[in-house]
Amino acid sequence: MTAQQTPVQALPAVLERIDAELDNSLARLFDFLRIQSISTDPAFAPQCRSAAEHIAKDLASLGFDVSVRPTGGHPIVVAKVANGGAGPNVLFYGHYDVQPVDPLDLWETPPFEPRIATTPDGRKIIVARGACDDKGQVMTFVEALRAYKTVMGALPLSSITMMIEGEEECGSHHLFGFVKDNAAELKQDFALVCDTSMWDPTTPMVTTSIRGLVYEQVNLTCADRDLHSGLFGGAAQNPIRVLTRILSSMYDDTGRITIPGFYDGVSDLPPDIKKELASLDLTAEDFLGAVGLKAPAGEKDRLLIEQIATRPTAEINGIIGGYTGEGAKTVIPGKAMAKVSFRLVGDQDPEKIRTAFRAFVREKLPVDCSVEFGNFGGAAAVQLPFDSPALGKTRDALAAEWGKKAITVGEGGSIPIVGDFKRVLGMDTIMVGFALDDDRVHSPNEKYDLTSFHKGARSWARILAALSV
Amino acid sequence: MTAQQTPVQALPAVLERIDAELDNSLARLFDFLRIQSISTDPAFAPQCRSAAEHIAKDLASLGFDVSVRPTGGHPIVVAKVANGGAGPNVLFYGHYDVQPVDPLDLWETPPFEPRIATTPDGRKIIVARGACDDKGQVMTFVEALRAYKTVMGALPLSSITMMIEGEEECGSHHLFGFVKDNAAELKQDFALVCDTSMWDPTTPMVTTSIRGLVYEQVNLTCADRDLHSGLFGGAAQNPIRVLTRILSSMYDDTGRITIPGFYDGVSDLPPDIKKELASLDLTAEDFLGAVGLKAPAGEKDRLLIEQIATRPTAEINGIIGGYTGEGAKTVIPGKAMAKVSFRLVGDQDPEKIRTAFRAFVREKLPVDCSVEFGNFGGAAAVQLPFDSPALGKTRDALAAEWGKKAITVGEGGSIPIVGDFKRVLGMDTIMVGFALDDDRVHSPNEKYDLTSFHKGARSWARILAALSV
């Protein structure tokens, strides 16, 4: 123990320690994985509490001041340690709960009996529910901290706050209020999250943006009842016809969305970032082939990776109207309904998009057709500034560990809590994770590559050192 | 009894007889109405048989050679009398079965206890299930025959064949095969049907055409599974988007259908007929107001009455895809489905329309989208030639009875048996009926105006006389 060492000075010893500790680290992860913390099933509430207490105890052993906070659902573990070292105050977020395990008969071994297996191509993997999502990923960070604690006698950075929740897999229903209620305690210089993936097994990745979302329901009404198409066909307005006409007019022939003002706040990527994305050469065959598709269907003048990660979209998520059973029924329905959502990027304003969409629909309504809208949520996109110093340090650290440039990619989906960190706490988030596409997250035989776990811990050790200067 | 009298000579006495017999005619109709011949409910099979036997016995009393023919369902009554008089051989079609009566609590009096009531505006009405549809209408024809039998001792025309079925209200499933199997017996010079309505309470009407129908189901498939719109949104083809684009492109801005070849075989109406239709001045307020609509939605350059009666249509009868439950689900579905039907007129060929529609869809399919079609039936339109001599005589007879020109209108819906008369037996049909829009057919408190019943019988008496010369 050398109290005067900085994290940068300690790093070689820390990495050595992580290597030497691997078997013990695995044993600790296995203990965590054995806890059946299935959050969505009330029958497993005691196991969720056990998992919370397990991680709380582990963090306490590293010097954290830990509390297991009750919520209306599963508890949230909050741990804080003020190290007084150089560098920022950070919040680390992860979750201790896991997905259900059914269909159980598809598991090759019991989901809560973790084991090391070897893939046909020779990779060592950790197999268990939660091995990756998110227990394995959380423990990469914890093991990096543990190595620092051993080597330096203290943890790096000015302070580290940990928030490990237990409802991520069932909607994080109590987390949002918790963050709001404990804003002062949780707001740090920025957040770190380990719940994302690598670009591929050898290329590290920082997720720098998350698309926002506006979700709308459109209910059209024409006649005040269903009509017989023989009697009224040709004269009565058909709400399905109106709905299909309006929804299909949301797109032009190039795949661009035609709603006026839709692209306000959407910027082109910085040239270097775009060049970097282009160099990844994501092909339709690779990305779409697995689900039976061949051709990108979005804006024709954009890279596939832009279409899924950095460009806004409009999707019709559902539609229903008239007769949809077996056989024929010659009805002209009185009503038709669609669900439409928009993925947002950059500075697109969810409420402006919602208003523009509603105006777009109303403007195209014929006589004899009225509309009601339902609001099913909206969230702005989250974008980590490309010039964030912490991002640059994180990328450098990852590059040093993996021997390969760490790419920055936008996440197509939404991680709501990261949006809340930004909106409620005014805090950016750096998302680094070591999951791989074949990890079978949420599916039977979930796994985490031993390399992800081991080099993941080493990556965090390097990131913490980089952030400390 | 004056055997030498012709129907034309006998007509004044026949009309007098109908007037004098009204109370007895009503008593006979009430006996028929008391039989609970609900065809769709197997529990009422004995009552259906009773109704068949009832009408059979009545026809036998008029000199018909009657048989109650078994089918796989309810029996069909066939009656024939060769009168040897002047004029054509005709087939009269009607049905003895009725609709179910629920919701029973909405009936002011029991549905099978017929009564005479008076409307607030002073009209006498017959209230009972089947009062109009079709027992009351059938009996207008039978009472006209009865009066001839009394006055002339014989029935008019060369021969009259009656076919009264018992499954019209549940699909006429056994009728089509029956007509085919008994073609020689049933094929006459033309058919008479009394199951349609007046134009309004003072204007008689002959229904001269019935639109045909092509019914298609369209199943689109894009990805081989449902996708998360966060992950795949922007890149994956969305079958709802494809479906809405294709279906909405079936119509141009004037309401015309854009499927190539769709209007082949569609002729404009003869100018005199069009003028006659225009003079009816059917307003959107009158026709559409009752169902909460205001504006005709069909071809902009056509009269409303053309849109519903003499022009072909394309309707989307149903559509479904993606998430349609409560709230939000960010799915890009793998599949979407629609039901589309076409009402046909003139010489439009159902199979050519089907083929053209399928080609239209296929031609617009993007990469990554495949289609399967389902065929749910097709029938050509039926058109009584406007220059048919029997039609002219029928119109003149109706005009004489009602003191007002009888209009000819196309029926928007399909009466399948009339199509079969044309296709299987090569026989035109003259449809004359005395129902009114407020008869509550298929609904509680079904009624038939006493005037419809009385003047209906007188109308048939005049028509039979007119046809005999």
Q: Which two tokens stand for residue A23?
A: 């078997």
Specify the 3-state DSSP secondary structure of B248.
Answer: helix
Q: What is the pLDDT of residues A254-278, one digit of tens each?
A: 999 999 999 999 999 889 889 988 9
Q: Which helix (H) or strand (E) holds A98?
A: none
Contact in structure between A36 and A169 (CB atoms under 8 Å): no
CA B376 from chain center: how many Å?
19
The pLDDT value recorded for residue B413 is 63
Which two three-digit tokens encode residue B187?
Answer: 């094929």
A293 in B contact zone (CB under 8 Å): yes
Give phi and psi for A247, each to the nearest 5: -65, -40
CA–CA dist B202, B404 (Å, integer): 8
User: DSSP per residue over B104-129, as a string?
Assistant: GGG-SS-TTS-EEEE-TTS-EEEEST
Pairwise CA distance, residues A198 & A178, whole Å: 30
Q: Is B373 on the interface with A (CB under 8 A)?
A: no
- Are residues B324 and A313, on separate chains, in Cβ contact within 8 Å? no
Q: Whose structure tokens read 């912490």?
A: A390
Cβ separation B244–A241 shorter than 8 A:
no
Q: How far is B390 from chain A (nearest CA, A)?
A: 26
Q: Give the tens place of pLDDT for each residue, B96-136.
A: 999 999 889 999 999 999 999 999 999 999 999 999 999 99
Cβ pair A315:B241 closer than 8 A = yes
B317 and A229 within 8 Å at the Cβ level: the answer is yes
Q: What is the mean pLDDT of residues B201-224?
A: 94
Give the Å distances, CA to CA, from B124 to A427, B30, B143, B436.
80, 15, 19, 13
Q: A413: pLDDT confidence band, cut at 50, 70 and 90?
A: low
The residue-averaged pLDDT of B152-164 equals: 97
Contacts of B263 in chain A (CB under 8 A): none
Nearest to A227 among B291, B321, B343 (CB): B291
DSSP annotation of A231 reads H
Rounded to whole angstroms, how far apart are CA atoms A387 and B314? 56
Interface check for A350 against chain B (CB to CB < 8 A): the answer is no
CATH number, span A7-210+382-467: 3.40.630.10
Residue A18 predicted with pLDDT over 70: yes
E strand or H helix at B436: none
**pLDDT above 60 for A177:** yes
Q: What is the DSSP letter of B98?
A: B
Q: Who's near B294: CB < 8 A, 6+ residues apart?
A: A367, A368, B284, B285, B288
* pLDDT score, position B3: 53
Strand pairing partners for B190? B90, B428
Instruction: Establish if A31 touches chain B: CB-CB under 8 angstroms.
Output: no
Phi and psi based region of residue A130 (left: phi greater than 0; alpha: psi -120 to 50; beta: remaining): left
Residue A340 to residues A102, A280, A400, A416, B328: CA-CA distances in angstroms? 31, 31, 44, 19, 9
Separate counts of helices (H) and strands (E) for chain A: 15, 18
Q: Is residue B238 within 8 angstroms of chain A, CB to CB?
A: yes
A3 confidence band (pLDDT: 50, 70, 90): low
Residue range A384-396, pLDDT digits in tens: 998 999 999 999 9
Helix, strand counts (H, E) of chain B: 15, 18
Residue A1 binned pLDDT confidence (cut-offs 50, 70, 90): very low
Question: If you ran DSSP here, which 8-state letter would residue A413 be given?
Answer: S
Given a cut of 90, is residue A103 above it in pLDDT?
no
- Which of A89, A93, A101 has its CA nearest to residue A76? A93
Complex ipTM over 0.85: no
| Interface residue of B232, B242, B266 to substitute, partner A, most A CBs within 10 Å | B232
List the one residue out of B404, B412, B463 whose CA is nearest residue B433.
B463
Q: By mean pLDDT, which of A197-206, A345-354, A362-371, A435-444 is the weakest? A: A435-444
Which of A235, A316, A323 is opposite residue B238, by nearest beta carbon?
Answer: A316
- Assign A23 a pLDDT band (cuts: 50, 70, 90): very high
Position with higher pLDDT, B263 vs A376:
B263
C-beta atoms of A324 and B322 within 8 A:
no
Taking CA–CA distances from B330, the nearest residue in chain A reads A317
Q: What is the CB neighbour count within 10 angstroms for residue A367? A: 12
Question: Position of tokens 């399928």?
Answer: B358
- Greater pLDDT, A389 or B171: A389
Q: B119: buried, middle or exposed (CB in 10 Å: 19+, 13-18, 0-12)?
A: exposed
Chain B partners within 8 Å of A231 (Cβ): 308, 412-413
Query: What is the second-level CATH architecture of the domain B212-266+312-379?
Result: 2-Layer Sandwich (3.30)
CB-hemisphere CA count at 13 Å for B163? 24
Q: Decide if B366 touches A, using CB distance below 8 A.
A: yes
CB–CB contact B211 A223 (8 Å):
no
B368 touches chain A (CB under 8 A): yes
As a dihedral over the C-alpha atoms of residue B349, residue B427, residue B203, residue B307, rounded to 10 degrees, the angle is 0
Q: Do A333 and B318 touch (CB under 8 A)?
A: yes
Whole-number pLDDT of residue A38: 96
Q: Residue B210: helix, strand or coil by DSSP?
A: strand
Name every residue whose Cβ is closer than 8 Å to that of residue B177 and which is 6 or more positions away in sequence: none
What's the whole-number mean pLDDT along residues B42-66? 97
B382 neighbourhood in chain A, CB within 8 Å? none
Distance, in Å, from the CA atom of B315 to the CA atom of B252, rounded to the nearest integer, reads 14
pLDDT at residue B242 greater than cutoff 80:
yes
Residue A337 falls in which region: left (phi positive, over 0), alpha (psi -120 to 50) or beta: beta
* Chain A nearest-CA residue for B335: A318
Residue B264: pLDDT over 80:
yes
Span A226-262, pLDDT tens digits: 888 888 888 999 999 999 999 999 999 999 999 999 9
Percent of chain A with pLDDT over 70: 99
Interchain contact, A231 vs B291, CB within 8 Å:
no
Percentage of chain A surpassing pLDDT 90?
Answer: 82
Cβ neighbours of A368 in B, within 8 Å: 288, 293-295, 297
Q: Smallest Cα–Cα separation from A144: which of A84, A85, A92?
A: A92
Name the residue of chain B whose CA is nearest to A335's CA.
B318
Task: Report the residue of B216, B326, B335, B339 to disrupt the A interface, i.e. the one with the largest count of A CBs within 10 Å.
Answer: B339
Question: The tokens of A359 are what?
Answer: 């105006």
Q: Where are the domains of chain B?
A: 7-210+382-467, 212-266+312-379
Gap from A255 CA to chain B (nearest CA, Å): 9
- pLDDT higher than threshold 80 for residue B2: no
Give the range with max mean pLDDT: A134-143, A263-272, B97-106, B383-392: A134-143
State the residue for tokens 């009607």: B94
**Is the pLDDT score of B437 beyond 90?**
no
Yes or no: say if B249 and B364 are a contact pair by the CB < 8 Å rule.
yes
Of B228, B236, B296, the CB nearest to A235: B296
pLDDT in tens, B286-340: 899 988 999 999 999 999 999 988 899 999 999 999 999 988 888 899 999 999 9
Match 């079978």 to its residue by tokens: A440
Is A289 in the B-facing interface, judged by CB distances under 8 Å? no
Residues of A in contact with B322 (CB under 8 A): 316-319, 339
Each residue of A428-456: pLDDT tens digit?
999 999 999 889 888 899 999 999 999 99
Tell me the average pLDDT of chain A: 94
For range B354-380, the mean pLDDT:
95
CB contact B43 to A (< 8 Å): no
Across the A:B interface, residue pairs with CB atoms under 8 Å apart total 275
Chain A residue with the nearest C-alpha to that of B211: A230
Predicted pLDDT of residue A327: 86
Calpha distance A71→A313 (Å, rounded):
36
- Mutation target among B222, B243, B293, B294 for the A interface, most CBs of A within 10 A: B293
Q: Which of A417-421, B13-17, B459-463 has the lowest mean pLDDT?
A: A417-421
Interface with chain A: mutation pick from B217, B250, B324, highest number of A CBs within 10 Å: B324
- What's the pLDDT score for residue A229? 84
Mean pLDDT of B239-259: 97
| Interface residue of A324, A345, A361 to substitute, partner B, most B CBs within 10 Å | A324
What mean pLDDT, rounded, does chain B reach? 94
CB proximity A370 to B under 8 Å: no
> Residue A237 in 3-state DSSP?
coil
Position A362 confidence tier, pLDDT thresholds 50, 70, 90? very high
User: Taking CB atoms and an 8 Å limit, are B331 and A318 in contact across chains?
Assistant: yes
Residue B415, pLDDT > 80, answer no
The answer to whether A377 faces chain B, any CB pair under 8 Å, is yes
Closest residue in chain B to residue A331, using alpha carbons only: B317
Establish if A82 touches chain B: CB-CB under 8 angstroms: no
Do the bridges between strand A65-69 and strand A76-82 make them parallel or antiparallel, or are there none, so unpaired?
A: antiparallel
Q: Which residue has the tokens 């549940």?
A: B170
Nearest CA in chain A to B256: A234
Residue with the larger pLDDT of the pair B438 and B219: B219
DSSP, res A104: G
